[in-house]
A and B are shown apart, each in its own frame.
Chain A
């Protein structure tokens, strides 16, 4: 695929990812900040948003893959999010619209990023990474009571138009999955288990120092860099080496040194390296279904997050639970990547050839 097409798409989708997540977070926290409703009802609104934003993605992903409309899905998602900013006085409508819009955007952008260079983790990582930055900015805007709908609407509509105008990447023809299909479900299940557990750990970590703005920015940067570099390093040094090593080193840092900001931030960086690698492996297992693969990982995220929305969070946030959870995640990811490498990865020579002929 043309390098210019790749660069324009990844730039626009990454920036718009930050914008969409910022708008959604700003909408939710503006409602929370301005509401006199009970904390129970506000908590429900946050749960409704999260479930709609994450759990609907596999269905939207199947739709995007079937009709080959990732750009339209992303643009429609941005417009839905723009509309949600107008409904702050009707919180349920606002969070539902934002949730659906967020899901449509993520699946569309995810499918494009996975399709730009087949079999490479770098670009999906670069696409996903800015989301954390957007969430932080949006949360600060919403909580601070600085939310104004108009700038968000103008930016979202502008970027939606841009997404529709940039040259669209050609959608790669679906290929047959090579290998021993006996392990097909096992690999997918292990990958999703690894995502779900990492999601639970991420939401269970107690990091009291993040109320310090400077440390919050450092923490967010670690998430962004971890996701962005995880794919690049994984493509360079091997998916298993980077993802599993990162998780192994992060386990003690996040378990025993979460109270020391610098060590915890390093742990968060290493913890996030595995994200684009898991995603690309899942997409390789589901050829021609990039939107569905992206959606499945989002579904695993919300299923993993579910216990933290309940009283179980007391259990999941305990030190030993976090250590056990990370260890299980390591075993699941290592098993999945090993099974994939031994039974399904038949494309290494082709990848080398593609790189020599000028592709990223």
Chain B
């Protein structure tokens, strides 16, 4: 019994080192902020694209309305 508990104790002590070596550590706790915003990234891209298109269209309209000398 003592041998078993001793073995357990030594295993427990080296387990963290093993995990680091083998890179099998459990994933860190989920980052709530990242998870919450990630599906919204495409929406941000849509917004940026639409704003760019709108600015381009406004500039084009101004050029169209500018009298040519």
Contacts and interface: CB of A to CB of B under 8 A. Distances in A.
Interface residues of B, number: 16
Interface size class of chain A, counting residues whose CB lies under 8 Å from the partner chain: 20 to 34
A212 B66 CA distance: 54
A47 interface: yes
A40 B47 contact: no
Nearest to B35: A40
A324 to B, nearest CB: 24
A44 B50 CA distance: 20
Determine the main DSSP class of A at the interface with B: helix
Contacts of B39: 44, 48
A62 B54 CA distance: 9
Contact of A40 (B36, B50, B53, B61): B36
B50 A292 contact: no
Interface of A: 40, 44, 47-48, 51-52, 55-56, 58-59, 62, 176-177, 181, 184-185, 188, 286-287, 289, 292, 295-296, 299, 302-303
A185 B62 contact: yes
Interface in B12-38: 36
Contacts of A302: 47
23 contacts: A40-B36, A44-B36, A44-B39, A44-B40, A47-B40, A47-B43, A52-B46, A55-B47, A56-B50, A58-B53, A58-B54, A59-B53, A62-B53, A177-B65, A181-B65, A184-B65, A185-B58, A185-B62, A287-B65, A289-B57, A289-B61, A299-B50, A303-B51
